[in-house]
Structure 1
Amino acid sequence: MFGKLFKKKENNPIQKLSFENYLATVVDIHAELPKSTVTVKEQMDIIFSDTSDFTERKFHLKSGRSVYICYFSALISQPQLEASVIKPLIQNDVNFRDADDLGNILSVTKYEQTVNWKGTVENILDGNIVLHIDQLNPIILFLAEKTGRNPTDPTTEYQVYGAKFGFIEDSRKNIGIMRQFIKDPRLKSRAYDIGVVSKKQAAILYLEQYCQPEVVEHLDSLLNSYNKEHLQSIGQLSKYISKHPNSLFPQATMSERPDLVSFALVQGKVVIFIDGSAFCAITPITFMDLLETSEDHFFLSRWNLLFIRFLRIVSMFIGTILPALYVSLVAFQPELIPTTLTISVAQARVQIPLPATAEAFLMMFALDVLIEASLRLPSFVGQTIGIVGGLVIGTAAVEAGLVSHTMVIVIAFTAVATFTSPSWEFVSTWRIIRYLLVAIAAMLGLYGLVLAVGFLLVHLCKLDSMNKPYMYPLAPFDGKELKAFFFPKR
């Protein structure tokens, strides 16, 4: 009995073939399609067997020649197929000799002759139509009609100024949106089919003479060498192109705002779009790029811009270091705290059973749980849960004697300071680093905190994004660029 229960299961892995290898088991992928509609239909039935949305239509012209049409019903416009293809064929029954004769009667914007089985199947999967008249070479009709939506307000990147609409899930239309923002022939794009199975449409966008050619070529080689089966999101692709994927710091940033992307293109960056994602990836980026937005330049006074960017930098350090600094001072170096403040903190902690380290971890964890819950809940209750949950948990924890008033103030100010950063990916990075700094401060005190910050700076100076130093213009130091960050040219 126990032998059967703990018997090792036999491995029977499912054989996963690439698109080409699978198709090669059915047809010669490099061979031309036969001119017989019967033979083509037989092969299509094998390739797309057990596929309910694969549609085939077969009829005869007045001359007696058979016509075979196949497509995916959900990916084309049925009325356009009837009006532009089937009706003209029936009404203009001529002695077709080649595809040019078909082009004279079909009101289709674009069509081309099939090259081989691989290209034909790829076109069908992309939403196009195969039209085959007996004894003629089959042709591809480009009548794909992909589902989509109209641009709407950005949902994750709120702004005071700037454009009030964001990208959609169609990479081609997103490129069209960008061409409305940058009307310049130097705005170049390159298209890719990424993913062995998914065949996801992707594109890169860049401004010639603004972007460094080696960045474009390096990115082009990376995208052409992508050989994984599926590509699900733009974040997955961003990790693939990152030189240091195990680093906590993002080497590409995401955006759904066309005005921000336009600002990035003018700065010489490359933008990546993929189908199915309303966000694009921007690369290469630096530490300073994650602290600025395009709407910063809407300020009429340059001093407002200086104040906002300086405030973001200071808030980033406060939001990251403050909990660890509190733990190190209270638990290890209380003599460094002013006497009056020391007495106030000591009185607040008289009835607290937990050490300062446990206090910090408990409140930070509660804060992150509330943030994640407010993000996942529906929008009409998410903000309410975040505010009410924070007040209830904070008040209850203090009244129960689990944490001190001082710790609640520290964590609350930490949360507010962290979210001054315009990049959510950057905010998430500092949330993780905050835990690491508190852990080190709990073991080594203020000395450990200083040492950890030093190692963090060394890591940042070592990083690069598409071979561009991550800490530029601080390391290597460039005074003119650093000045331009706080005082951009008019």
Structure 2
Amino acid sequence: MSHSSVSNNENVLPTAEDDATFENRVAYIKRAFGNTEDLMRVPLSFNNKQGVLLYLAVISDLEKIQRSILFPLMKYRDLEVEQIPLTAEAKSKIMLKDSINALIQGNSIVVLGCEELYSFNTVKENTRSSVEPDSEKTVRGSHIGFVENLSTNLGFIRRGIESRHLRIHYERIGQYTNNQIAIVYIDGIASPVLVRKLKERISTLSIDMTFSPGYLEELLEDVPYSPFPHLLYTERPDRAIAQLIEGRIVVMAEGSSDVLVLPVSFFSFFQTTDDYNSRIITGSFFRFLRLISFIISLLLPSLYIAVIGFHFEIIPKEILVLVKNSVENIPFPPLIEAMIMAFTIELIREAGIRLPTPIGQTIGIVGGLIIGDAIVSAGLVSNIMVIVIALTAISSFTIASYEMSNTVRILNYPIMLSAATFGFVGIIFSLMFIVGHLCKLESLGTPYFTPLAPFNFKGMKDAIIRFPIWLLKDRPRELHVKNKRRLYRPRRWQNNEN
């Protein structure tokens, strides 16, 4: 199986060992990392030799560099490097080709003249413990989450992707806040067109402040008035790394533990880390369950309203009497019933979020039980409507993305209104409008409803269900990546054993 031209040309560095000039040695290292902006360069002059200190800012400790490298080199200018009492571990005269991996691992490189090249252990240690985000729990896999420090978060990415092709581009946004954001992508995989388009959108922003990625989302998304989210939020480094390797772009902001991933598709919001950490059948089942939950939470109240108001004849005879006894003494039509219960659920949910955690949990459980029992006992809402709204709420909580879950709850109201007005016909027209809207949406100029519209058979392998990882050989076509192949020789051992 042949590799792409990107794999052949960009992943292989030209040999530089024979070129011993100082300028070409430094140029070799800089060329290996491209235009990433976290590669720092500090000019040096030591023992009458021209020198330079190189390090990656997000994974190297600046205090160690100053204390263990810069200060000793300034203090002992007349000695050889091997004779200087250094507190950092030094490897004298490493090979130039080894300097790339040394930098990626967090070491600092000192180039002196045309012969000497040293590596110093200046790896940054995390000063703050990273805990798993509450909104993205996982059963298996990493339990590390992003924090509110941009440099620390970029360090998570650098340690997860130890490649010289990782690119970091910094921007300053906000006339008064002047917040720093970082655009992260993998050169050789991510589409240059999409990277350039995102950089242009960000560079043209003019705003007083940006306190969180939520500000950026409204300013970057293609259709800001759409109820569907165009960008994916995540607080998990492993998920962000997986999206980068797929060919997507990650946007991080100082002061926020949420990062933005774009472009994304509709089905990206139903994928979780556990899908790939579980067995094939298990992961596919739970992803399919989330998609079914989306449909249930979107349509169940509307179907109940349409059946009670227009299509009573489709109820089976065995439960017809139960339904009739439940609804005949209710003073409100089904639409008002559903609105009352849905609004009550939203009030309890919002109260649980805003209150302190122990009180919020109590309000959610006790408040739901008391209000549900009281409202049924008073004869304002039927028992069946309570069951319908409870199932709808539970289904919406099953959706992996908080933003998509909110979208479903908002769309419930117009669909219920259509069902109360036109019955099943109203529901069908509402669904046609929603599907048509999804087909028209774009995320950073890429189709939002792919692989269904436009239809892509290969993309279906990782949409509704998860195919085996060794069959997911290609990256998503809609991303227009430079390196389209994800796996070149999957399960190679199988051919050897046979």
Q: Same fold (TM over 0.5)?
A: yes
Q: Which moved more, 1:150-159 or 1:414-423?
A: 150-159
Partners of 1:216 and 1:467 in 2: CA distance: 11
Give, in angstroms, the shift of residue 484 of structure 1. 3.5
Q: Once superposed, which parts of structure 1, at least 4 consecutive aligned residues long, lie more than 3 Å away?
A: 147-150
Partners of 1:444 and 1:262 in 2: CA distance: 47
**1:351 is matched with which residue?**
329
Would the aligned equivalents of 1:370 and 1:389 in 2 still touch at CA under 8 Å? yes
Would the aligned equivalents of 1:327 and 1:357 in 2 still touch at CA under 8 Å? yes
The answer to whether 1:378 aligns with 2:356 is yes
**2:157 is matched with which residue?**
178
SS at match of 2:171: strand
Aligned residues: 353
**Counterparts in 2 of 1:407-422, with a 5 A limit?**
407-422=385-400
- Structure 1, residues 376-416: CA drift from partner, whole Å, max 9, x if none? 11112222221221111111111111111100110111111
Give, in angstroms, the shift of residue 308 of structure 1. 1.0
Q: Which of residues 257, 267, 271 in structure 1 aligns to 2:250?
A: 271
Would the aligned equivalents of 1:255 and 1:279 in 2 still touch at CA under 8 Å? yes
Partners of 2:457 and 2:371 in 1: CA distance: 47
Give, in angstroms, the shift of residue 328 of structure 1. 0.9
Partners of 2:317 and 2:425 in 1: CA distance: 21
Q: Which of residues 423, 447, 462 in structure 1 aligns to 2:440?
A: 462
Equivalent residue letter for 2:444: M
SS at match of 1:272: strand
Q: Which of residues 176, 182, 185 in structure 2 aligns to 1:206?
A: 185
Name structure 1 gaps, 5 residues minimum. Answer: 1-78, 93-146
Q: Which of residues 146, 154, 168 in structure 2 aligns to 1:189?
A: 168
**1:452 is matched with which residue?**
430
**1:168 is matched with which residue?**
147
Give, in angstroms, the shift of residue 342 of structure 1. 2.6
Give, in angstroms, the shift of residue 446 of structure 1. 1.3
Give, in angstroms, the shift of residue 432 of structure 1. 0.2
Instruction: Mark the CA change 1:182 to 1:321 in structure 2 (over 3 Å): closer, same or farther.
Output: same
Equivalent residue letter for 1:364: A
Would the aligned equivalents of 1:297 and 1:305 in 2 still touch at CA under 8 Å? yes
Partners of 1:276 and 1:326 in 2: CA distance: 45
Would the aligned equivalents of 1:200 and 1:275 in 2 still touch at CA under 8 Å? yes
Q: Which of residues 149, 154, 164 in structure 1 aligns to 2:133?
A: 154
Name structure 2 gaps, 5 residues minimum. Answer: 1-62, 76-125, 471-498
**2:228 is matched with which residue?**
249
Q: Which of residues 283, 295, 303 in structure 1 aligns to 2:274?
A: 295
- Structure 1, residues 249-305: CA drift from partner, whole Å, max 9, x if none? 0100111111111111121111110111111111111011111012211113x1112
**2:118 is matched with which residue?**
none
Partners of 1:282 and 1:385 in 2: CA distance: 34
Partners of 2:130 and 2:329 in 1: CA distance: 55
**1:471 is matched with which residue?**
449
Partners of 1:387 and 1:248 in 2: CA distance: 29
Equivalent residue letter for 1:243: D
Give, in angstroms, the shift of residue 341 of structure 1. 2.6
SS at match of 2:241: helix
CA RMSD of aligned residues (A): 2.4
SS at match of 1:419: helix
For CA contacts below 8 A with separation 6 or more, give which structure has more relative contact order. Answer: 2
**1:313 is matched with which residue?**
291
Would the aligned equivalents of 2:146 and 2:235 in 1 still touch at CA under 8 Å? yes
**1:393 is matched with which residue?**
371
Partners of 1:407 and 1:185 in 2: CA distance: 58
Question: TM-score under structure 2 normalisation?
Answer: 0.68
Partners of 2:163 and 2:127 in 1: CA distance: 27
Give, in angstroms, the shift of residue 149 of structure 1. 4.3
**1:283 is matched with which residue?**
262
SS at match of 1:156: helix
Partners of 1:397 and 1:255 in 2: CA distance: 38
Would the aligned equivalents of 1:148 and 1:169 in 2 still touch at CA under 8 Å? no
Q: Which moved more, 1:341-350 or 1:185-194?
A: 341-350
Give, in angstroms, the shift of residue 457 of structure 1. 0.4
The answer to whether 1:439 aligns with 2:422 is no
The answer to whether 1:220 aligns with 2:199 is yes
Question: TM-score under structure 1 normalisation?
Answer: 0.69
Would the aligned equivalents of 2:138 and 2:273 in 1 still touch at CA under 8 Å? no
Would the aligned equivalents of 2:132 and 2:143 in 1 still touch at CA under 8 Å? yes
Give, in angstroms, the shift of residue 148 of structure 1. 8.2
